Structure 1
Amino acid sequence: MNRNVTLTIDEDLLLAARKLALDRNTSVNAMIRDYLATETTQAQRRAESRATLEKFFNDPVVRIGKIDWKREDLYDRKL
């Protein structure tokens, strides 16, 4: 369901937005709608990514196992 929103915007900014919309063959309304859709989608993706990272940090998939080597042994090995 679409809802109407009233914005208060500087006259010069509105004029510039109308010119930009005309150049892009769209409307100021469509530009604002697309901008808000993009911003909310990106925010949702960031939240999902953050949740994935937190899950990984709390329960890492990689298991190293027992560390039975010494630091010096790593420098002695031949590459």
Structure 2
Amino acid sequence: MKNVTVTMEDSVADWARMEAARLNTSVSRLIGEMLAEKMRHDDAYERAMNDWFQRQPSYRSNGAPYPKRDRDAA
């Protein structure tokens, strides 16, 4: 594990201390867990986005215009 120094506004530090106390943990561990969760979320999102872009389209265009949404419009 690495030790880092974090600079934040006083109100943020106060909230972090109260939240850590509520969760019975340290501010350091709280911030570390929050960043780890953010990293997992971002990684999962990027994998899902890449999977989506890798998919082949389920439609084939013959060059005709797409159908209109409004059934009355022709």
Establish whether TM, by shorter chain, passes 0.5.
yes
Q: Which runs of 5+ in 2 are unaligned?
A: 61-74
Corresponding residue number in structure 1 for 2:41:
42
Amino acid at match of 1:50: M
Which deviates further from its counterpart, 11-20 or 36-45? Answer: 11-20
The structure richer in helix per residue is 1
What is the aligned-residue identity percentage?
Answer: 25
Corresponding pairs, count: 60
Q: Which runs of 5+ in 1 are unaligned?
A: 65-79
RMSD: 1.8
Matches within 5 A, 1:1-79: 2-56=1-55, 59-60=56-57
TM-score under structure 1 normalisation? 0.65
Following TM superposition, where does structure 1 have runs of at least 4 consecutive aligned residues deviating by more than 6 angstroms? Answer: none
TM-score under structure 2 normalisation? 0.68
